[in-house]
Amino acid sequence: MVWVVMAMALLWAWGVTRDEGFYTPPSPQSGSTVSSANLLFVDAPEGQILVMHAATGNELARYSSGEASFLRGILRSLVRERRVRDLESDGAFQLALLDNGSLVISDPETGYWMALEAFGVDNRRAFAELLYRAQPSTAIAVSDRGVGR
């Protein structure tokens, strides 16, 4: 039993300390883009996050400290991938609705993307509202299911 515990501890230590290098981005989802927007997420005073339309500079949302924990988590993941590659962390991310109904946030700098519906309806809705605010003239609407056409 002691040997099993020691082996598990060594495997854990190896996994924590090894140089993980670069990950390969997952294969892109299939589907055509129905609507998209490039968004900037700006750290503001007192822990706020401003969401800006990258092309127009319009403010789409402002989240106070303690709000939008899911959005903050997604951003931390995307920014971490940039930092691992020694890239600037302040560039735009693309939010897109695909024709198969998937809502995807992607990083043009690293190629990483996340299908937001995998995290539940409420979490998807937070990003769906941002896309709607960025592209109100397109044929999308925010509903209980997120974004629809």
* pLDDT tens-digit map of 38-82: 999 998 899 899 999 999 999 999 999 989 999 999 999 999 999
Residues 100-108 have a mean pLDDT of 92
- Contact at 8 Å (CB) between 104 and 115? yes
Q: In total, how many domains does the chain have?
A: 1
Share of the chain above pLDDT 90, in %: 45
Supply the range of the domain harboring residue 64: 32-148
Assigned domain for 80 exists: yes
The structure tokens listed for 41 are 């997420």
Burial class of 39 by CB neighbour count within 10 A (0 to 12, 13 to 18, 19+): buried
Query: Is 25 part of any domain?
Result: no
Mean pLDDT of the chain: 82
Q: Is residue 16 part of a domain?
A: no
Q: 123 in a domain, yes or no? A: yes
> Cβ(51)–Cβ(39) under 8 Å?
yes
Within-domain flag for 22:
no
Res. 101: pLDDT tops 50: yes
* 2 pLDDT above the threshold of 90: no
On whether residue 3 sits in a domain, the answer given is no
Q: Is residue 51 part of a domain?
A: yes
Distance between the two ends of the chain, CA-based, in angstroms?
58
Q: What is the CA radius of gyration of the chain?
A: 18
Residue 121 has φ and ψ, to the nearest 5°, of: -65, -50
